[in-house]
Copies of this chain bind each other. A is one copy, B any other.
Amino acid sequence: MEINSKLRTILEKIKENKPLVHHITNYVTVNDCANIVLALGGSPVMADDHKEVEEMVSIASALVLNIGTLNERTIESFILAGKKANQLGTPVILDPVGVGATSLRNQATERILKEVKLSVLRGNMSEIKCIYGIEAATRGVDSVDNPLEGGKDIALQLAKRLNCTVAITGAVDIISDGSRIFYIENGHPIMANITGTGCMSSSLVGVCCGVGEGSLFGAIAGIIIMGIAGEKAQQRLQGQEGLGSFRVYLMDAISQLTMADIEERGKAHELI
């Protein structure tokens, strides 16, 4: 009840406000991220030069930092934009893609966590475990772990430590703001077979956090929308249709998603 009421408000506000989401993101999935923001009713802008990110984030409703193809130049931009967003009270979402795989990613993530106050940290179990401090075998940008029982404690403790919402996405998504814990059981395994479903989830979280309803329900909203769209897209597949069609149907589903879909299909529940 609380969840659907919150999600309804978020969807309505997105329609009204068309929140501008500034991304400093990777060049692999950036087009998908821009399109999914538009499909949900937001407005994307991508800008990564250190000379303009502070100005750009100043006109944005949310900032998404994604380290998928980070480099020395963009790491500085992450910090500058993040600090500016903090000054302005603009929510910052971090997607620590592939953290654990290289020292550069670990150091960049540490620096962001130290210098920027996040609203939402969203990653797969490997990435979140790495940040939490548990040795996790990282396999590039793919998750090798499933959100097991331990996930809820990691999400809760890390959210407390970082004073933000932590979202671990996978077969089951776990979301905590440090006091409450939610599970989402939407989505389909095929989503892991195209690139960018994680990045796109973070972008949707950015849109949903950009309307002033807080980071916990912003994160829940973005992630449940992605999961439901994945289910709907998968169910449309037939015959010769494979991953190419799935990507198209996923974007179709986001652009046609309504509150009725969430009410009918949503499987989010609070862990008491």
Closest B residue by C-beta to A190: B255
Partner of A243, one of B44, B139, B252: B252
Query: Please, which residues of chain B bring their CB within 8 A of the CB of A248?
Result: 244-245, 247-248
Taking a contact as CB atoms under 8 Å apart, the answer to whether B55 and A69 are in contact is no
**CB neighbours of A44 from chain B (8 A):** 140-141, 195
User: Is the beta-carbon distance between B255 and A249 smaller than 8 angstroms?
Assistant: no
B47 near A69 (CB under 8 angstroms)? yes
Does A268 sit at the interface, judged by CB under 8 A? no
Closest chain B CB from A247 CB (angstroms): 7
Q: Is the CB of B251 within 8 A of A243?
A: yes
Which residue from B45, B232, B244, B245 sits with its C-beta under 8 Å from A98?
B45
Residue of B nearest to A32 (CB): B31
Query: In the bound complex, how far is the Cα of B59 from the Cα of A140, in angstroms?
Result: 8
Which chain A residues in 238-272 approach chain B with CB under 8 Å?
240-245, 247-256
Contact of A52 among B38, B51, B55, B102 (CB under 8 A): B102
Q: Is A70 an interface residue (CB 8 A)?
A: yes
Tell me the count of chain A residues lying within 8 A, CB to CB, of chain B: 65
Q: For the complex, what is the distance from the CA of A139 to the CA of B18, rounded to whole Å?
A: 11
* Cβ B103 vs Cβ A195 within 8 A: no
Q: Are A195 and B31 in contact (CB under 8 A)?
A: yes
Is A116 at the interface (CB under 8 A from chain B)?
A: no
A148 interface residue (CB < 8 Å to B): no
Output the least CB separation between A37 and chain B (Å).
8
Are A71 and B98 in contact, with the CB atoms below 8 A? Answer: no
Per-residue interface assignment for chain A, residues 130 to 165, with 1 indicating a CB less than 8 Å from any chain B CB and 0 otherwise: 000000001111100000000000000000000000
Q: Are B59 and A71 neighbours in the complex by a CB distance under 8 Å?
A: no
A232 nearest in chain B by CB position = B240
Give CA–CA (A34, B28) in the complex, Å. Answer: 8
As a 0/1 sequence over residues 57 to 69 of chain A, the CB contacts with chain B under 8 angstroms (1 = contact) are 0011000000011
Does A172 reach chain B (CB closer than 8 Å)?
no
Contact B29–A31 (Cβ < 8 Å): yes
Report chain B residues within 8 Å CB of A31. 28-29, 31-32, 195-196
- In the complex, chain B residues whose CB is within 8 Å of the CB of A255: 193, 242-244
Bits for A8-52, please: 1 = Cβ < 8 Å to B, else 0.
000000000000101000111111101100110001111111011
Contact A46 B20, beta carbon cutoff 8 Å: no
B194 contacts A35, CB within 8 Å? yes
Chain B CB within 8 A of A2 CB: no
Contact partner, A104, options B22, B30, B51, B139, Cβ 8 Å = B51
